[in-house]
Homo-oligomer: A and B are copies of this chain.
Protein backbone atom coordinates (compact mmCIF):
# COMPACT_ATOMS: atom_id res chain seq x y z
CA UNK A 1 0.00 0.00 0.00
CA UNK A 2 1.66 3.17 -1.14
CA UNK A 3 -1.42 5.28 -1.13
CA UNK A 4 0.33 8.07 0.73
CA UNK A 5 2.39 8.71 -2.40
CA UNK A 6 -0.69 9.30 -4.46
CA UNK A 7 -2.27 12.73 -4.11
CA UNK A 8 -5.78 12.47 -2.73
CA UNK A 9 -7.38 14.41 -5.54
CA UNK A 10 -6.61 11.63 -8.00
CA UNK A 11 -8.91 9.24 -6.21
CA UNK A 12 -12.10 11.10 -5.42
CA UNK A 13 -12.44 8.44 -2.72
CA UNK A 14 -13.89 9.17 0.69
CA UNK A 15 -11.47 9.92 3.46
CA UNK A 16 -11.71 7.35 6.24
CA UNK A 17 -12.31 8.68 9.71
CA UNK A 18 -14.52 8.08 12.71
CA UNK A 19 -16.98 10.95 12.29
CA UNK A 20 -20.34 9.04 12.15
CA UNK A 21 -21.79 11.37 9.50
CA UNK A 22 -18.67 10.93 7.39
CA UNK A 23 -18.86 7.15 7.97
CA UNK A 24 -22.42 7.26 6.61
CA UNK A 25 -21.08 9.09 3.54
CA UNK A 26 -18.30 6.53 3.27
CA UNK A 27 -20.83 3.69 3.24
CA UNK A 28 -22.85 5.51 0.55
CA UNK A 29 -19.59 5.88 -1.41
CA UNK A 30 -18.82 2.18 -1.03
CA UNK A 31 -22.16 1.28 -2.61
CA UNK A 32 -21.12 3.11 -5.77
CA UNK A 33 -19.63 0.84 -8.45
CA UNK A 34 -15.88 1.10 -8.87
CA UNK A 35 -14.40 2.17 -12.22
CA UNK A 36 -10.78 2.33 -13.33
CA UNK A 37 -10.17 5.75 -14.92
CA UNK A 38 -7.45 5.49 -17.57
CA UNK A 39 -7.47 8.80 -19.41
CA UNK A 40 -6.03 12.27 -19.08
CA UNK A 41 -7.20 14.23 -16.02
CA UNK A 42 -10.45 16.06 -16.73
CA UNK A 43 -11.83 17.67 -13.58
CA UNK A 44 -15.39 18.33 -14.85
CA UNK A 45 -15.72 14.76 -16.18
CA UNK A 46 -14.30 13.29 -12.97
CA UNK A 47 -16.59 15.40 -10.85
CA UNK A 48 -19.67 14.29 -12.79
CA UNK A 49 -18.55 10.64 -12.72
CA UNK A 50 -17.90 10.76 -8.98
CA UNK A 51 -21.59 11.42 -8.33
CA UNK A 52 -22.34 7.88 -9.51
CA UNK A 53 -19.07 5.93 -9.27
CA UNK A 54 -16.00 5.42 -7.16
CA UNK A 55 -13.08 6.40 -9.38
CA UNK A 56 -9.78 4.61 -9.19
CA UNK A 57 -7.13 6.59 -11.01
CA UNK A 58 -3.35 6.24 -11.43
CA UNK A 59 -1.32 9.16 -10.07
CA UNK A 60 -0.48 10.27 -13.60
CA UNK A 61 -1.46 9.20 -17.11
CA UNK A 62 2.08 7.92 -17.66
CA UNK A 63 2.16 5.57 -14.63
CA UNK A 64 2.54 1.98 -15.90
CA UNK A 65 -0.90 0.44 -15.34
CA UNK A 66 0.16 -3.06 -14.12
CA UNK A 67 2.46 -1.39 -11.56
CA UNK A 68 -0.38 0.86 -10.40
CA UNK A 69 -2.77 -2.09 -10.18
CA UNK A 70 -0.38 -3.90 -7.86
CA UNK A 71 -0.20 -0.97 -5.45
CA UNK A 72 -3.65 0.58 -4.99
CA UNK A 73 -6.02 -0.15 -2.11
CA UNK A 74 -8.58 -2.27 -4.03
CA UNK A 75 -7.94 -5.83 -5.25
CA UNK A 76 -7.67 -5.97 -9.04
CA UNK A 77 -10.53 -8.46 -8.96
CA UNK A 78 -12.87 -5.68 -7.78
CA UNK A 79 -12.50 -3.81 -11.07
CA UNK A 80 -15.27 -4.65 -13.56
CA UNK A 81 -15.19 -1.53 -15.75
CA UNK A 82 -12.64 0.81 -17.34
CA UNK A 83 -13.24 4.34 -18.59
CA UNK A 84 -10.48 5.23 -21.08
CA UNK A 85 -9.65 7.60 -23.95
CA UNK A 86 -7.82 7.06 -27.21
CA UNK A 87 -4.42 7.80 -25.74
CA UNK A 88 -3.77 4.89 -23.33
CA UNK A 89 -3.62 1.43 -24.91
CA UNK A 90 -6.04 -1.08 -23.39
CA UNK A 91 -3.94 -4.06 -24.39
CA UNK A 92 -3.85 -7.76 -23.49
CA UNK A 93 -1.56 -7.32 -20.40
CA UNK A 94 -3.98 -4.77 -18.87
CA UNK A 95 -7.05 -6.84 -19.73
CA UNK A 96 -5.38 -9.99 -18.32
CA UNK A 97 -4.39 -8.24 -15.10
CA UNK A 98 -8.07 -7.54 -14.33
CA UNK A 99 -9.70 -10.97 -13.87
CA UNK A 100 -13.25 -9.61 -13.52
CA UNK A 101 -13.09 -6.90 -16.17
CA UNK A 102 -16.34 -7.02 -18.16
CA UNK A 103 -16.75 -3.54 -19.69
CA UNK A 104 -14.56 -0.92 -21.39
CA UNK A 105 -16.06 2.49 -22.15
CA UNK A 106 -13.86 4.78 -24.26
CA UNK A 107 -14.45 8.50 -24.65
CA UNK A 108 -13.08 8.24 -28.21
CA UNK A 109 -14.88 7.37 -31.42
CA UNK A 110 -11.79 5.42 -32.60
CA UNK A 111 -11.05 1.96 -31.17
CA UNK A 112 -7.52 1.30 -32.37
CA UNK A 113 -6.11 1.63 -28.82
CA UNK A 114 -8.24 -1.27 -27.52
CA UNK A 115 -7.34 -4.91 -28.12
CA UNK A 116 -10.80 -5.83 -29.38
CA UNK A 117 -9.83 -9.46 -30.08
CA UNK A 118 -8.78 -9.92 -26.46
CA UNK A 119 -12.02 -8.24 -25.33
CA UNK A 120 -14.04 -10.65 -27.46
CA UNK A 121 -12.07 -13.66 -26.14
CA UNK A 122 -12.69 -12.52 -22.57
CA UNK A 123 -16.32 -11.51 -23.14
CA UNK A 124 -15.59 -7.86 -22.29
CA UNK A 125 -18.20 -5.50 -23.78
CA UNK A 126 -16.98 -2.21 -25.27
CA UNK A 127 -18.74 1.13 -25.81
CA UNK A 128 -17.38 4.18 -27.63
CA UNK A 129 -18.40 7.79 -28.18
CA UNK A 130 -20.80 6.73 -30.93
CA UNK A 131 -21.74 9.69 -33.11
CA UNK A 132 -21.23 12.37 -30.42
CA UNK A 133 -18.14 13.79 -32.11
CA UNK A 134 -19.17 13.28 -35.73
CA UNK A 135 -20.47 16.75 -36.40
CA UNK A 136 -17.54 18.47 -34.67
CA UNK A 137 -15.05 16.40 -36.66
CA UNK A 138 -16.99 17.08 -39.86
CA UNK A 139 -17.07 20.84 -39.14
CA UNK A 140 -13.33 20.80 -38.54
CA UNK A 141 -12.62 18.81 -41.71
CA UNK A 142 -14.50 21.42 -43.74
CA UNK A 143 -12.67 24.18 -41.84
CA UNK A 144 -9.30 22.60 -42.68
CA UNK A 145 -10.30 22.21 -46.33
CA UNK A 146 -11.42 25.85 -46.69
CA UNK A 147 -8.28 26.92 -44.83
CA UNK A 148 -5.93 25.02 -47.16
CA UNK A 149 -7.80 25.84 -50.39
CA UNK A 150 -8.38 29.52 -49.59
CA UNK A 151 -5.11 29.94 -47.64
CA UNK A 152 -6.71 31.38 -44.50
CA UNK A 153 -3.96 30.47 -42.00
CA UNK A 154 -1.34 31.61 -44.51
CA UNK A 155 -3.25 34.90 -44.99
CA UNK A 156 -3.35 35.34 -41.24
CA UNK A 157 0.45 34.89 -41.06
CA UNK A 158 0.91 37.31 -43.97
CA UNK A 159 -1.10 40.07 -42.26
CA UNK A 160 0.36 39.45 -38.77
CA UNK A 161 3.91 39.56 -40.11
CA UNK A 162 3.25 43.12 -41.33
CA UNK A 163 4.02 42.10 -44.92
CA UNK A 164 0.58 43.13 -46.19
CA UNK A 165 1.11 46.70 -44.98
CA UNK A 166 4.63 46.83 -46.45
CA UNK A 167 4.16 44.99 -49.73
CA UNK A 168 0.75 46.08 -50.95
CA UNK A 169 -2.36 44.19 -51.66
CA UNK A 170 -2.23 42.45 -55.00
CA UNK A 171 -2.12 38.77 -55.72
CA UNK A 172 1.38 39.37 -57.11
CA UNK A 173 2.40 39.58 -53.44
CA UNK A 174 0.20 36.92 -51.94
CA UNK A 175 -0.98 34.10 -54.19
CA UNK A 176 -4.67 33.35 -54.49
CA UNK A 177 -6.24 30.19 -53.20
CA UNK A 178 -8.63 28.02 -55.12
CA UNK A 179 -12.44 27.87 -55.32
CA UNK A 180 -14.39 25.24 -53.35
CA UNK A 181 -17.33 25.03 -55.72
CA UNK A 182 -16.92 22.32 -58.35
CA UNK A 183 -14.04 20.62 -56.52
CA UNK A 184 -14.19 16.83 -56.66
CA UNK A 185 -13.89 15.61 -53.07
CA UNK A 186 -13.16 11.92 -52.44
CA UNK A 187 -14.16 10.71 -48.99
CA UNK A 188 -12.18 7.78 -47.65
CA UNK A 189 -14.86 6.34 -45.38
CA UNK A 190 -18.55 7.24 -45.36
CA UNK A 191 -19.58 6.50 -41.78
CA UNK A 192 -21.11 9.07 -39.42
CA UNK A 193 -18.25 11.52 -39.93
CA UNK A 194 -17.91 11.06 -43.70
CA UNK A 195 -21.65 11.53 -44.19
CA UNK A 196 -21.67 14.75 -42.16
CA UNK A 197 -18.70 16.07 -44.18
CA UNK A 198 -20.49 15.22 -47.44
CA UNK A 199 -23.66 17.03 -46.32
CA UNK A 200 -21.68 20.19 -45.54
CA UNK A 201 -19.54 20.15 -48.70
CA UNK A 202 -22.61 19.73 -50.91
CA UNK A 203 -23.73 23.18 -49.67
CA UNK A 204 -20.46 24.57 -51.10
CA UNK A 205 -21.07 22.97 -54.50
CA UNK A 206 -18.42 20.25 -54.13
CA UNK A 207 -18.87 16.99 -56.00
CA UNK A 208 -18.72 14.06 -53.58
CA UNK A 209 -17.45 10.51 -54.19
CA UNK A 210 -16.36 7.90 -51.68
CA UNK A 211 -14.41 4.74 -51.02
CA UNK A 212 -15.34 2.22 -48.35
CA UNK A 213 -15.33 -1.54 -47.90
CA UNK A 214 -18.82 -1.80 -49.33
CA UNK A 215 -21.14 0.42 -51.35
CA UNK A 216 -23.53 2.21 -48.95
CA UNK A 217 -27.17 1.52 -49.72
CA UNK A 218 -29.33 4.55 -50.44
CA UNK A 219 -26.37 6.87 -51.07
CA UNK A 220 -26.23 8.81 -54.34
CA UNK A 221 -22.50 9.73 -54.25
CA UNK A 222 -20.26 7.83 -56.70
CA UNK A 223 -18.73 4.76 -55.09
CA UNK A 224 -15.13 3.72 -55.86
CA UNK A 225 -14.21 0.24 -54.62
CA UNK A 226 -10.56 1.07 -55.43
CA UNK A 227 -9.00 3.96 -53.52
CA UNK A 228 -6.43 4.75 -56.25
CA UNK A 229 -9.29 5.23 -58.72
CA UNK A 230 -10.99 7.55 -56.23
CA UNK A 231 -7.72 9.49 -55.83
CA UNK A 232 -7.16 9.95 -59.58
CA UNK A 233 -10.70 11.30 -59.98
CA UNK A 234 -10.45 13.69 -56.97
CA UNK A 235 -9.09 17.17 -56.30
CA UNK A 236 -9.27 16.56 -52.55
CA UNK A 237 -9.08 13.38 -50.44
CA UNK A 238 -10.62 13.54 -46.97
CA UNK A 239 -9.51 10.66 -44.75
CA UNK A 240 -12.42 9.81 -42.43
CA UNK A 241 -12.33 6.04 -41.87
CA UNK A 242 -11.50 4.08 -38.69
CA UNK A 243 -7.91 2.87 -38.17
CA UNK A 244 -7.73 -0.93 -38.41
CA UNK A 245 -5.09 -3.40 -39.63
CA UNK A 246 -6.66 -3.10 -43.10
CA UNK A 247 -6.71 0.70 -43.20
CA UNK A 248 -3.24 1.39 -41.75
CA UNK A 249 -1.37 3.46 -44.39
CA UNK A 250 -4.42 3.29 -46.68
CA UNK A 251 -3.10 6.63 -48.06
CA UNK A 252 0.20 5.33 -49.42
CA UNK A 253 2.61 6.28 -52.18
CA UNK A 254 0.34 4.93 -54.93
CA UNK A 255 -2.71 6.82 -53.68
CA UNK A 256 -0.75 10.08 -53.31
CA UNK A 257 0.71 9.68 -56.75
CA UNK A 258 -2.77 8.99 -58.23
CA UNK A 259 -4.05 12.10 -56.43
CA UNK A 260 -1.46 14.30 -58.10
CA UNK A 261 0.16 17.71 -58.14
CA UNK A 262 -2.57 20.22 -57.31
CA UNK A 263 -4.56 18.02 -54.98
CA UNK A 264 -5.06 18.20 -51.27
CA UNK A 265 -5.17 15.65 -48.43
CA UNK A 266 -7.28 16.32 -45.32
CA UNK A 267 -6.82 13.87 -42.44
CA UNK A 268 -9.16 14.02 -39.46
CA UNK A 269 -9.18 10.21 -38.95
CA UNK A 270 -6.01 8.83 -37.40
CA UNK A 271 -2.38 9.65 -38.21
CA UNK A 272 -1.49 6.09 -39.18
CA UNK A 273 -4.13 6.03 -41.93
CA UNK A 274 -1.57 8.02 -43.95
CA UNK A 275 1.99 6.96 -44.71
CA UNK A 276 3.30 10.14 -43.13
CA UNK A 277 6.86 9.83 -44.45
CA UNK A 278 5.52 9.53 -47.98
CA UNK A 279 3.12 12.45 -47.44
CA UNK A 280 5.98 14.64 -46.20
CA UNK A 281 8.06 13.63 -49.24
CA UNK A 282 5.20 14.44 -51.64
CA UNK A 283 4.63 17.83 -50.00
CA UNK A 284 8.34 18.63 -49.95
CA UNK A 285 8.75 17.72 -53.62
CA UNK A 286 5.51 19.41 -54.74
CA UNK A 287 3.94 16.11 -55.80
CA UNK A 288 0.71 17.05 -54.06
CA UNK A 289 -0.69 20.55 -53.60
CA UNK A 290 -1.30 20.82 -49.87
CA UNK A 291 -2.60 19.20 -46.71
CA UNK A 292 -4.78 19.87 -43.67
CA UNK A 293 -3.76 17.51 -40.87
CA UNK A 294 -5.35 17.18 -37.46
CA UNK A 295 -3.77 13.78 -36.71
CA UNK A 296 -0.25 12.39 -36.96
CA UNK A 297 1.57 9.09 -36.64
CA UNK A 298 3.54 10.10 -33.52
CA UNK A 299 1.35 12.39 -31.46
CA UNK A 300 1.82 14.76 -29.73
CA UNK A 301 4.20 15.77 -32.46
CA UNK A 302 3.99 16.55 -36.14
CA UNK A 303 6.80 16.22 -38.71
CA UNK A 304 9.01 19.31 -38.44
CA UNK A 305 9.45 19.44 -42.24
CA UNK A 306 5.85 20.69 -42.42
CA UNK A 307 6.32 23.58 -39.98
CA UNK A 308 7.43 26.11 -42.60
CA UNK A 309 5.17 25.04 -45.47
CA UNK A 310 2.66 27.65 -46.63
CA UNK A 311 0.29 25.08 -48.16
CA UNK A 312 -0.16 23.00 -45.01
CA UNK A 313 -2.41 23.52 -41.98
CA UNK A 314 -1.52 21.60 -38.81
CA UNK A 315 -3.68 21.02 -35.76
CA UNK A 316 -3.12 19.14 -32.48
CA UNK A 317 -5.78 16.37 -32.77
CA UNK A 318 -8.48 18.90 -31.93
CA UNK A 319 -11.12 18.16 -34.58
CA UNK A 320 -12.96 16.03 -32.09
CA UNK A 321 -13.24 18.53 -29.29
CA UNK A 322 -15.72 21.19 -28.35
CA UNK A 323 -16.93 21.77 -24.80
CA UNK A 324 -20.49 21.25 -26.04
CA UNK A 325 -19.65 17.75 -27.30
CA UNK A 326 -17.68 16.91 -24.18
CA UNK A 327 -20.75 17.67 -22.14
CA UNK A 328 -22.81 15.33 -24.32
CA UNK A 329 -20.05 12.75 -24.07
CA UNK A 330 -19.94 12.85 -20.26
CA UNK A 331 -23.58 11.93 -20.08
CA UNK A 332 -23.17 9.20 -22.71
CA UNK A 333 -20.24 7.63 -20.81
CA UNK A 334 -22.14 7.71 -17.53
CA UNK A 335 -25.21 6.25 -19.22
CA UNK A 336 -23.09 3.44 -20.73
CA UNK A 337 -21.47 2.64 -17.37
CA UNK A 338 -24.82 2.75 -15.55
CA UNK A 339 -26.35 0.46 -18.18
CA UNK A 340 -23.47 -1.99 -17.72
CA UNK A 341 -23.75 -2.08 -13.91
CA UNK A 342 -27.54 -2.45 -14.19
CA UNK A 343 -27.14 -5.42 -16.51
CA UNK A 344 -28.71 -3.47 -19.40
CA UNK A 345 -27.43 -3.25 -23.01
CA UNK A 346 -24.86 -0.50 -23.68
CA UNK A 347 -26.10 2.62 -25.48
CA UNK A 348 -23.24 2.78 -27.99
CA UNK A 349 -21.87 -0.78 -28.11
CA UNK A 350 -18.98 -1.68 -30.38
CA UNK A 351 -18.66 -4.94 -32.29
CA UNK A 352 -15.48 -6.65 -31.12
CA UNK A 353 -15.09 -8.83 -34.23
Asked whether A176 is an interface residue with its Cβ less than 8 Å from the other chain, the reply is yes
Q: How far is the CA of A182 from the CA of B203 in the complex (A)?
A: 17
Is the Cβ of A139 less than 8 Å from the Cβ of B318?
A: no
Binds B, one of A49-57, A108-116, A159-167, A186-194: A159-167
Q: How far is the CA of A313 from the CA of B200 in the complex (A)?
A: 22
Is the Cβ of B204 less than 8 Å from the Cβ of A323?
A: no
Binds B, one of A28-36, A71-79, A143-151, A223-231: A143-151
Total number of A residues with any Cβ neighbor in B under 8 Å: 64
Q: A170-B40, A200-B204, A203-B203 are in contact. Are A179 and B324 (CB under 8 A)?
A: yes
Q: A204-B200, A318-B151, A323-B178 are in contact. Are A139 and B143 (CB under 8 A)?
A: no
Interchain CB contact (< 8 A) of A315 among B142, B156, B314, B316:
B156
Asked whether A158 is an interface residue with its Cβ less than 8 Å from the other chain, the reply is yes
Q: How many copies does the complex hold?
A: 2
Binds B, one of A208-216, A243-251, A294-302: A294-302
Is the Cβ of B324 less than 8 Å from the Cβ of A135?
A: no
Give the one of A151, A170, A172 with max B CB within 10 A.
Answer: A170
Q: Please name all residues of chain B whose beta carbon is closer than 8 Å to the beta carbon of A171 when the two chains form the complex.
A: 321
Interface residues of A in 234-248 (CB under 8 A from B): none
Q: Can you give 22 contacting A-B residue pairs, CB < 8 Å?
A: A135-B181, A135-B204, A139-B180, A139-B181, A142-B204, A143-B146, A144-B152, A153-B156, A155-B314, A155-B316, A155-B318, A156-B315, A159-B314, A160-B307, A164-B300, A164-B302, A174-B318, A176-B326, A177-B322, A178-B324, A179-B325, A202-B203
Nearest 10 A-B pairs (CB), nearest first? A143-B146, A165-B301, A203-B203, A155-B315, A179-B324, A159-B314, A179-B322, A169-B300, A164-B316, A153-B153
